[in-house]
Amino acid sequence: MRLHRSLALLFTLLWSALSFAQQAKGYEFEKDYPLFLNRIKEDLTYPMAWGNSQTTHFDTWRSEARNTVLEAMLTPPPPAADYAMEVIASQKRNGHTAYKIEFNLTDYSRVPAYLLIPDGEGTFPGVVLLHDHGAHFSIGKEKMIRPFGVDSLVVADAEKWVSTCYESQYPGDYLASQGYVVLSADALFWGERGRKEGVRYESQQAISCVFDMLGRSWSAFVGYEDMYTADFLASLPQVDTERIGCMGFSMGGYRSWMLAALSDKVKAGAAVCWMTTTEYQLSPQYSKGKGDSNYVNVLPGLRRYMDYPHIASIAAPKPMLFFNGSSDRLFPVPAVEDAYNTMRSVWSSQNKSENLVTKLWDTHHVCNQAMQSEIARFFDKHLKP
């Protein structure tokens, strides 16, 4: 760790020296970074992070930190007055029934979703499943739950995606087989909530700009809708409201720890392959922090107050699991280790170190079957009586 920090500091000093020299050449950007990048990063002191904040009572800090995040999320979409859930189709599966449903997620949007309900009587623990980004917009919820009653092209798309990212095991179907009610809906811009003209990667920039011009945030809309989705799951008679978790991979991992931090409906969360720090994310050495695909993970001005692991720590001391891959090119090991250490210090400060699971797997950017199995055991421990 000290070696990583020393190398990072050396690189920063060299980059700063080079930056000043280049300013005399008539430009102020290189590789899409401003030459004063490190000067700005030095100003990021994260005054709202636990341990930096002047607030020393943890529950008070959690409330203040959460409000800071919500302020950065700007105006929320109005909640739906009535979910008006409708079952479109159903399919009996091994140990559970799959439902294709529609419900009013907000006052703006009526959305399709997949809902899996285990066989048997009584209430069950529930899990909100949050799909990944992958620069793959043609499907969303179908990445998490095996689709049915749809065009064969959608089925083939989902099968290929799940083979690549989830080792051919749909996380939703697997968790339902373990006794969980599972819900997954399309995020705004994915699947059946996409673009009328068809998939277009570059449209992310335009969409984000439109929301900004309206005084809103596309990223925040996704976050608010995830909270509303958890509220909807909690409203179902088959679900025990005190035993709700959330899980996601990649962008879904980001969404998962954000949801766990912002919603008291969620009692435990699992996030796979999305954790870093701004120091590494915006680094010419690693160069993975820019591009259209990050618009959906950026909240206006929030970095003035907290970094990613500080925000995730708002979920403390509830049970949380974080997995990353040691060869994941999107989230380099030094960044992950720094973030994990930050979060460990927060859970430890509340004498709840046992509630935080952080693990580096010997793999790349995937959520394989072994990971899913450990996540199920984690949920069993914390969400089952």
What confidence tens digit (pLDDT) does each residue in 250-306 have? 999 999 999 999 999 999 999 999 999 999 998 877 766 567 788 999 999 999 999
pLDDT at 12: 57
280 phi and psi, to 5 degrees?
Answer: -90, -35
Whether the predicted pLDDT of 52 surpasses 80: yes
Collapsed DSSP state (helix, strand, coil) of residue 110:
strand
What is the structure's pLDDT at 312? Answer: 98
The CATH number of the domain covering residues in 86-383: 3.40.50.1820
Residues 197 and 189 sit within 8 Å (Cβ to Cβ): no
pLDDT of 229: 98
Average pLDDT (12-29) is 63
Report the pLDDT value the prediction gives residue 245, as an integer from 0 to 100: 98
Q: How high is the pLDDT of residue 286?
A: 76
Task: Report the share of the chain in percent with pLDDT over 70.
Answer: 92
Residue 207: C-alpha distances to residues 164, 293, 380 (Å): 28, 12, 39
Q: Which pLDDT does position 284 carry in this prediction? A: 79
Rounded mean pLDDT of 78-94? 97
Residue with tokens 């690549």: 164
Q: Residue 31's pLDDT is what? A: 83
Instruction: Between 1 and 314, name the one with better pLDDT.
Output: 314
Question: Please, which pLDDT band fits residue 15 given cuts at 50, 70 and 90?
Answer: low
The tokens describing 349, both together, are 């400060």
Q: What is the Cα–Cα distance from 343 to 310, expressed in whole angstroms?
A: 7
Kind and range of the H or E run holding 224 = helix 218-235
Mean pLDDT (whole number) for 330-335: 95
pLDDT digits 0-9 by tens, 196-250: 999 999 999 999 999 999 999 999 999 999 999 999 999 999 999 999 999 999 9
Looking at residue 17, what is its pLDDT? 57
What pLDDT score does 30 carry? Answer: 87
pLDDT beyond 80 at 115: yes
Instruction: Pull the structure tokens for residue 310.
Output: 């500080």
SS3 content of the chain, % helix, strand, coil (to 5): 45, 20, 40
Cβ proximity of 179 and 118 under 8 Å:
yes
Tell me the average pLDDT of the chain. 93
Residue 82's pLDDT is: 98
Counting other chains too, the contacts that 33-40 makes at CB distance below 8 Å and 24 or more residues apart are 33/282, 33/284, 33/290, 37/282, 37/284, 38/12
Does residue 71 register a pLDDT over 90?
Answer: yes
Q: How many Å separate Cα 171 from the centre of its chain?
A: 15
Residue 80 predicted with pLDDT over 90: yes
